[in-house]
């Protein structure tokens, strides 16, 4: 078990304490090593809040998160960046590449921040570039390449540290359908190479590449589907059906 989330609760209080908004009420689930999890849910279901807590960018009101047996909640502010750098990789909807770095430097950024030697960086860089097929553009700058290429760069940046967990927030959100397809295949491939992936998404298509799909509603895990032996198409259908039932208010019990 690489990730264990127990009874997570998050309440946002407005600045003057007037309003309380419950983003997560009670979230419990766990992820095994090598899994590819997709978390689905409508806007406001608490997806982003959950992801921020998993990324240690936000703290839960109550509940616990264990990454590889280590409690995330108690980590001090000082250790947290190093922890994030060493254990987590991030891919975002809007890529979040830095315009003032070349593609190569964007990818190397986490290694540089970790204080690795230049030789070590070069040895880590090669396989990642090959895996993502972006060897040709490494001297370019983010504003000179396409959206698909940007997202590949972002993935390269996320996996170059060999993180225990790769977190992806709507990674296909800003891409056209062709780029989406090839990117999802890429995620599959990375996952098959042993990388644990947790992806938050709206898109049924994106979720249909996962090995397990969790459905979030009103701040709690409402339902989940295992891929089992299904093909992508079958899984797509199952997700679609589930969402329909969710939308029409049917009651499921996981």
Partner 1 sequence: MHNFMYFKLAAENIKKNAKMYIPYLITSIITIMMFYIMIFLAYNPGLTGMKGSSSVGTVLNMGIYVIGIFAVIFLFYTNSFLLKRRKKEIGLYNILGMEKKHIARIMTIENIYSYLINMISGIFFGILFSRLMLLLLIKILRAGTGFVFNISLKGIYITFIFFTIISALILLNNIRQIHLSKPIELLKGGNVGEKEPKSKWIIAATGILTMGTGYFMAITVNNAVSALNYFFIAVILVIIGTYCLFTAGSIVLLKILRRNKKYYYKTNHFTSVSGMIYRMKQNAVGLANICILSTMVLVMLSSTVCLYIGQDNVLNNRFPTNIGINTIFSNKEESESVSNTVKKIVQDSGYKIEAYNEFRYKVYTLEFNKEEKTFLPSTDITLNIDKMYLAYFFPIESYITQTGSDVVLNDEDVLIYSPDEIDISDKFLIQDLNFHVKGMVENPGFTIQTSGSYMKLVYIFVKDEEIISQIHNQFGDYYGDYYKLSHVIGFDVIENEDKQTKLVSTLRDTLESTDEYKNLTFQIYSTAEERFDFYALYGGLFFLGLFLGALFIMATVLIIYYKQISEGYEDKQRFYIMQQVGMSKVEVRKSIRSQVLTVFFLPLISAIVHIIFAFKMITMMLELLNLTNVSLFVICTVATVIIFTVFYTAVYSLTARTYYKIVE
Contact positions vs partner 1 (CB under 8 A): 55, 57, 77-78, 80-82, 84-86, 90, 92, 96-101, 105, 108-110, 112-115, 118, 121, 141-144, 157
**What is the nearest approach in angstroms of partner 1 to the Cβ of residue 139?**
10
* 8 A C-beta contact, residue 241 and residue 209: no
**Shortest Cβ 229–partner 1 spacing (Å):** 37
Instruction: CB nearer to partner 1: give 134 or 246.
Output: 134
DSSP-based three-state secondary structure for 130: helix
Which one, of 51, 63, 130, 144, lies nearest residue 97 by Cα?
144
In sequence order, the β-bridge partners of residue 165 are 88
- Strands 62-67 and 70-71, how do they pair? antiparallel
Q: Among residues 99 and 233, whose Cβ is nearest to partner 1?
A: 99
At residue 29, the 3 state secondary structure works out as strand
Query: Cβ of residue 65: shortest distance to partner 1, in angstroms?
Result: 18
Question: d(Cα 9, Cα 7) in Å, to the nearest integer?
Answer: 6
Query: What is the closest distance, in whole angstroms, from the C-beta atom of residue 149 to partner 1 in the complex?
Result: 15
Residue that the structure tokens 């098959």 belong to: 192
User: Of the two residues 16 and 118, which places its CB atom closer to partner 1 in the complex?
Assistant: 118
Judged by CB, which is closer to partner 1: 84, or 212? Answer: 84
């Amino acid at each position: 078990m690489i990730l264990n989330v127990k009874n997570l609760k998050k309440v946002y209080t407005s600045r003057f304490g007037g309003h309380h908004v419950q983003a997560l009420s009670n979230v419990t689930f766990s992820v095994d090593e090598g899994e590819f999890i997709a978390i689905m849910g409508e806007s406001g279901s608490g997806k982003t809040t959950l992801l921020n807590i998993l990324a240690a960018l936000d703290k839960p009101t109550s509940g616990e998160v264990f990454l590889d047996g280590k409690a995330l909640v108690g980590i001090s502010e000082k250790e947290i960046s190093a922890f994030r750098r060493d254990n987590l990789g991030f891919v975002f909807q809007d890529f979040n590449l830095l315009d003032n770095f070349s593609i190569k430097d964007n990818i190397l950024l986490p290694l540089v921040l970790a204080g690795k030697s230049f030789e070590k960086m070069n040895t880590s860089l090669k396989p990642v570039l090959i895996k993502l097929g972006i060897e040709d553009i490494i001297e370019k700058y983010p504003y000179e390449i396409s959206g698909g290429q940007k997202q590949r760069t972002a993935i390269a940046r996320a996996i170059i540290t060999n993180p225990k967990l790769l977190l992806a927030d709507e990674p296909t959100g800003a891409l056209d359908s062709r780029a989406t397809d090839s990117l999802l295949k890429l995620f599959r491939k990375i996952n098959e190479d042993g990388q644990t992936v947790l992806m938050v998404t709206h898109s049924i298509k994106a979720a249909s590449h996962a090995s397990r799909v969790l459905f979030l509603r009103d701040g709690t895990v409402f339902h989940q589907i295992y891929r089992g032996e299904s093909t992508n198409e079958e899984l797509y259908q199952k997700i679609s059906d589930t969402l329909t039932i969710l939308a029409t208010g049917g009651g499921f019990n996981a």
